[in-house]
Structures are given as structure tokens and as C-alpha cells.
């Protein structure tokens, strides 16, 4: 193979990668818009006329959802394919799905950490604002104190939970992906 044809192949491959990256950016934009709208609607429906206890449950649910997806995103980038090749050879349910996640680690991590994580953070903030208003109406307390307390609690739970989750995800990436793979296997189109 001469130098010119080798160079042309490299340029072609680079062009494909750039188009693929551009296509992914557009896809993730639309996924984020739809997912954000759906989760925001669900939050609004849950909070409509709900009491303070329900509002806190909704807040904690979105914080937990963000942490779980952060764990998945970190696990995908930290995992090794070898155990899943062995599991796939033994036809372990979910092994092929886990391998697919690892092979697309950049996209899976971007979706889990950035898309879902950011959406959960935003909705947690708006849910926190609803809680602040509800506490103010009930107690007539100064808004700034309540706002600071709810914001600090939300931030602390989110950041602390994600910090613990990242350590867990790195140490137990195979177990996490095995569980996610089995979950995805339940919905796979091709049952083996």
C-alpha cells in the first residue's frame, strides 16, 4: 500500500469519526430535551398540590436518580471487558449488553453523567424552590434562611452521594455493569 492511499484511508476514517461525533451531539441534544421535559412534567405532576413530605420524597428521588446514573457512567469507563467476554461465552444474561455499554463507554458515560445527571440536578433545584415556598407559607419564616438551608442540603446530598458513588463505581464496576446488563437484558429485542 503506497503512502497516498494510506493517507486517504486515514482521512476517510477521521471524517467518519467527526460525522459520528456530530451526529451524537445532535442526538444527545434531542434526547436531553425530551428527557428533561418528561422528568420535569413528572416532577410537576407529583408536586402539584402535594404536601411538604411528598416534595421532599420527590427531591430525594431525583438526587438518588442522579447518583445512580453517575455510578453507571463511572462504572462503564472503569470496567474491563475480559470478565464479560467470559460471561458472554457462558451465555450469562446481560453479559452482551454490558459489553455493548463498555464498547460505547464515551456515549454511555456522557448520557448517564451529563444528560441524566444534569437534568436531575436542575429538577432538584426547582423542587428545592417549591419546598422553600411551602415552608415559607407554613411557617412564615424568612425566605433567605430557608432557601440557604434547602440549597445546602440539596447540594450536600448530591455532591456527597456522587463522591461515595464514584468510589463504589470504580471498585465494583464489574458488579455494577453486570446488574445493569441484566436489567437491559430484560428489555432486549432478541431473546437468546
- pLDDT confidence of residue 22: 79
What residue ranges of the chain have pLDDT lower than 70? Answer: 1-19, 141, 189-192
- pLDDT confidence of residue 24: 80
**Do 62 and 149 touch, CB atoms closer than 8 A?**
no
Condensed to tens digits (0 to 9), the pLDDT of residues 5-17 reads 666 666 665 555 5
- Picking from 72, 84, 153, 135, the residue whose alpha carbon sits closest to that of residue 108 is 72
- pLDDT confidence of residue 12: 61
Chain centroid offset of residue 16 CA: 27
- pLDDT confidence of residue 57: 92
Determine the length of the chain: 192
Condensed to tens digits (0 to 9), the pLDDT of residues 84-102 reads 999 999 999 999 999 999 9
**Residue-wise burial string across 38-74, b where 16 or more C-beta atoms lie within 10 A, e elsewhere:** ebeeebeeebeeeeeeebbebbebbbebbbbbbbbbb
- pLDDT confidence of residue 190: 57
Give backbone dihedrals phi and psi of 26, rounded to 5 degrees, phi first.
-70, -45
Amino acid at each position: 500500500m503506497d503512502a497516498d492511499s494510506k493517507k486517504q484511508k486515514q482521512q476517510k476514517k477521521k471524517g467518519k469519526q467527526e460525522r459520528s461525533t456530530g451526529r451524537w451531539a445532535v442526538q444527545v441534544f434531542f434526547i436531553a430535551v425530551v428527557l428533561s421535559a418528561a422528568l420535569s412534567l413528572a416532577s410537576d405532576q407529583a408536586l402539584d398540590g402535594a404536601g411538604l413530605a411528598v416534595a421532599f420524597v420527590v427531591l430525594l428521588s431525583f438526587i438518588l436518580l442522579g447518583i445512580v446514573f453517575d455510578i453507571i457512567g463511572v462504572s462503564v469507563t472503569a470496567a474491563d471487558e475480559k470478565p464479560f467476554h467470559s460471561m458472554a461465552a457462558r451465555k450469562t444474561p446481560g453479559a452482551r449488553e454490558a459489553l455493548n455499554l463498555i464498547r460505547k463507554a464515551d456515549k454511555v458515560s456522557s448520557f448517564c453523567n451529563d444528560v441524566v445527571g444534569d437534568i436531575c440536578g436542575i429538577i432538584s433545584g426547582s423542587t428545592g424552590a417549591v419546598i422553600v415556598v411551602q415552608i415559607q407559607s407554613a411557617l412564615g419564616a424568612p425566605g433567605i434562611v430557608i432557601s440557604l438551608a434547602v440549597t445546602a442540603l440539596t447540594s450536600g446530598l448530591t455532591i456527597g452521594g456522587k463522591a461515595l458513588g464514584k468510589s463504589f463505581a470504580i471498585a465494583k464496576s464489574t458488579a455494577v455493569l453486570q446488574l445493569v446488563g441484566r436489567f437491559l437484558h430484560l428489555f432486549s429485542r432478541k431473546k437468546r
